[in-house]
Amino acid sequence: MKAYGHYLKALNVPYEIVITSNRFEFKFDPDFFIPNMLRDFIIYLPTEKKYIAPDRIENRVGEAPFNLLGNYGLFIQDNYDYYFKKIVEEDPQYSRINRIIDVIFLDDFEKVSVEEYQEYTGHWSETNRAVLALSSEQGIKEFKDYLTGTGIEDKEIVEYTVENADMNQLEYNKPFIVKSKMTSGSLIDDAGDIYIFEVGKLIGTQSELYQETKRINPIEMQYPNQYDYTITVEIPEGYGIEGLNTLVIDKSYKSGTGEKICKFESNYKLDGNKLVITIQEFYKSHEYDLARYEEFRNVINAASDFNKASILLKAKE
């Protein structure tokens, strides 16, 4: 911390020392303060509204580590004045996943070929880089499976590359990129005169909150995040598609001013022989009102509902 302080002072960069704690272990209470809550140190740059976490090798200048996000902290200025403040994420779009997926059918519908381009930013990219840099060989193998279509059991990975995987990134919030190509027979099912394509599985395994039990604990996520998908399915010549209504979902949770602060929205359009599906899912906060649990639950379950969506391909008469 002293070294960082000297560097920042020499560069005339205003900074404040922040002492807080892991929110999953201790809730920092500014009104009933006890020294036991002073466990984690980070540096706040007030002019940039960004943080430095000196003891986190995976972190760079950016938002606070997600396990501190949402907790209060003791902010100490250079004149030793101090104040208590909640550690918030300034950019709700800091952590995003953008996926572009192209699908074609092979061998008279025996298999599906899935080519995917993914960009991860924010906490996603930090975690991905750390896993690849610090995991065992087995851990890296399992992570490759995670990055290439979770929940598709029989997939065969044909191509797989990652870019910007080094933890030492000098560009702010540079995306971690994954390019892959795989084939799968389980995504397509022959049902006589039609083929059933489980297109929903392309977004991977999803969280779900279908349980009807009463929610007791507050609603808290790891961090704000956003997912954007563009899925393009090439329709074979001589075939039409049915069941497209299952691809249209719109669930959201709105603030008092009407702003959507979390949502899942999917839709589609037909462009010649291509079916283009677009999905946007986001959570602009990591905390949500317990009294509005049903609205939050509907958004989470919408993603899980889409994961189960299928469309039908039928030969034209």
Of 312, 184, 170, 172, nearest to 244 by C-alpha is: 312
Beta strands in 140-296 (DSSP E): 156-163, 176-184, 188-190, 194-197, 219-220, 225-234, 239-242, 249-254, 260-271, 274-283, 287-288
- Give pLDDT, residue 32: 84
Co-location of 244 and 123 in the same domain? yes
Total structural domains in the chain? 2
**Is 5 inside a domain boundary?**
no
Q: Is 31 among the domain residues?
A: yes
298 within a domain of the structure (yes/no): yes
Residue 234 phi/psi, 5° resolution?
-85, 120
- Same domain for 67 and 169, yes or no, is no
3, part of any domain: no
- 82 and 100, same structural domain? no
Same domain, 29 and 111: no
Per-residue confidence in pLDDT tens, the chain, 317 aa: 888 888 898 999 999 999 999 999 988 888 887 888 889 999 999 999 999 999 888 888 999 999 999 999 999 998 999 999 999 998 888 999 999 999 999 988 999 999 999 999 999 999 999 999 999 999 999 999 889 987 888 899 999 999 999 998 889 999 999 999 999 999 999 998 899 999 999 999 888 888 878 888 889 999 999 999 999 999 999 999 999 999 999 999 999 899 999 999 999 999 999 999 999 999 999 999 999 999 999 999 999 999 999 999 999 87
Domain shared by 191 and 255, yes or no: yes
The residues with which 251 forms a beta bridge, in sequence order, are 264
Q: Is residue 19 part of a domain?
A: yes
* Domain final residue, candidates 51, 86, 121: 86
pTM assigned to the model: 0.92
Q: Count of alpha carbons within 13 Å of 308, Cβ hemisphere only?
A: 6
Report pLDDT for 119: 97
Classified as helix, coil or strand, 282 is strand
pLDDT of 108: 87
In the chain, what's the furthest Cα-to-Cα distance?
A: 81
Q: Tell me the CA distances in angstroms from 232 to 51, 138, 151, 250, one per residue in order.
A: 39, 33, 20, 20
Whether residues 28 and 149 fall in one domain: no
3-class secondary structure, 1: coil
46 and 110 together in one domain = no
Dihedral sign from CA coordinates of 40, 45, 12, 173:
positive
Residue 279 placed within a domain: yes
| Token reading at 248 | 């249209």
DSSP, res 133: H
Residues 6+ apart with CB under 8 A from 54: 1, 4, 41, 42, 43
Q: Give the domain CATH number at 238.
A: 2.60.120.1130
Question: Are both 164 and 249 inside the same structural domain?
Answer: yes
* 121/103 same-domain check: yes
> Are 169 and 297 in the same domain?
yes
- pLDDT at position 138, please? 93
Angle, alpha carbons 16-18-23 (nearest 5°): 155
Answer yes or no: is 228 within a domain.
Answer: yes
DSSP H or E stretch at residue 97 = strand 96-106
**Structural domain boundaries enclosing 61:** 13-86
- CA atoms of 300 and 15, how far apart (whole Å): 38
The reply to whether 182 and 252 lie within a common domain is yes
* Beta strands 225-234 and 96-106, pairing class: parallel
User: Are residues 87 and 18 in contact, defined by beta-carbon separation less than 8 angstroms?
Assistant: yes
The pLDDT value recorded for residue 303 is 94
- Chain centroid to Cα 57, Å, comes to 21
Amino acid letter, residue 100? I
Taking the C-alpha atoms of residue 57 and residue 130, their distance in angstroms, rounded to an integer, is: 8
Whether the CB-CB separation of 129 and 165 falls below 8 Å is answered with: yes
Domain boundary among 38, 67, 86: 86
Distance between CA atoms of 207 and 20, rounded to whole angstroms?
Answer: 30
Tokens representing 213? 């039990």
Q: Is residue 188 part of a domain?
A: yes
Whether residue 38 is found in the same domain as residue 125: no
Q: Which residue, of 86, 117, 141, is where some domain finishes?
A: 86
- DSSP element (H, E) containing 297: helix 293-307
